[in-house]
């Protein structure tokens, strides 16, 4: 795109009607916010996946469960989601083991409930702001279309005061209006792609959490027998 076309596009935005300008500003702000959360969520999910893999290696390497628990407690600020789930389950297991009146099934049920509560919090944290991306992807095209319809309506209303209606008279107004639709699509497409990708990644991580909770519960149940 050369300098002339860049200037023409800038002039289209500057000369647009007030409502179309407001639509463009809103869509630009929403697009910037969605890109901010896209990058934040990408780093967060990558960090969760790496920490999950690291803890799984440590857990299945045959290390002592008490040592893993102490490590999780001492480094809680840097621990991953799966490590916090393990910490909650093992803490409940330690409390239950100290109560001689509890049978094995009751103790394991308590462990599962403790891990499930932590699991829900961790998954909710991973899913945070995905709804915003979904909303941007579904609503932005319609907001842009509203700006386009308003701009075209404004252009045709301007023709009422002209004795001769030509394409040259109405074309700038229509072009200004179509810019709103273009910005709406620019905001929506990355948000939709990112939402689908992140939702898939969260589901995969959640499945790994659930599998670990079942396997860990079985290990603890065998220790109580």
- What pLDDT is recorded for position 106? 84
Whole-model pTM: value is 0.81
Kindly tell me if the per-residue pLDDT of 112 is higher than 50. yes
Output 14 or 182, whichever has higher pLDDT: 182
The Cα-based distances of 5 to 8, 104, 167 in angstroms read 5, 75, 20
pLDDT in tens, 148-192: 888 777 777 766 666 565 656 566 667 777 888 888 999 999 999
Count of CB atoms situated within 10 Å of the CB of 34: 24
- What pLDDT is recorded for position 117? 95
Q: Residue 162 and residue 173: Cα distance in Å, rounded?
A: 14
The Cα-based distances of 36 to 30, 146, 192 in angstroms read 10, 25, 14
**Domain, as residue range, for 66:** 3-224
Q: Residue 220 and residue 59: Cα distance in Å, rounded?
A: 13
Return all residues near 133 (Cβ < 8 A) that are at least 6 apart. 34, 37, 38, 41, 191, 192, 194, 195, 198
Name the average pLDDT for the chain. Answer: 84
- Domain count of the fold of the chain: 1
- What pLDDT is recorded for position 147? 84
Average pLDDT over residues 53-81: 86
Output 76 or 143, whichever has higher pLDDT: 143
């Amino acid at each position: 795109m050369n300098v002339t076309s860049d200037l023409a596009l800038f002039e289209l935005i500057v000369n647009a009607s007030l409502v179309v300008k407001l639509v463009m500003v809103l869509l630009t702000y929403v697009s910037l916010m969605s890109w901010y959360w896209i990058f934040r969520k990408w780093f967060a999910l990558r960090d969760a996946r790496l920490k999950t893999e690291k803890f799984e290696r440590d857990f299945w390497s045959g290390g002592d469960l008490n040592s893993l628990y102490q490590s999780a407690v001492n480094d809680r600020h840097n621990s991953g989601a799966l490590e916090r789930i393990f910490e909650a389950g093992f803490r409940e297991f330690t409390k239950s083991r100290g109560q001689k009146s509890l049978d094995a099934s009751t103790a394991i049920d308590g462990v599962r409930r403790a891990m499930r509560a932590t699991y829900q919090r961790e998954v909710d944290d991973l899913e945070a702001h995905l709804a915003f991306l979904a909303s941007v992807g579904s609503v932005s095209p319609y907001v842009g279309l509203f700006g386009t319809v308003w701009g075209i309506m404004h252009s045709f209303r301007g023709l009422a005061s002209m004795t001769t209606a030509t394409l040259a008279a109405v074309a700038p107004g229509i072009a200004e209006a179509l810019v709103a639709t273009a910005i709406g699509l620019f905001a929506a497409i990355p948000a939709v792609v990112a939402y689908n990708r992140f939702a898939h990644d969260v589901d995969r991580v959640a499945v790994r959490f659930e599998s670990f909770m079942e396997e860990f519960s079985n290990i603890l149940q065998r220790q109580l027998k």
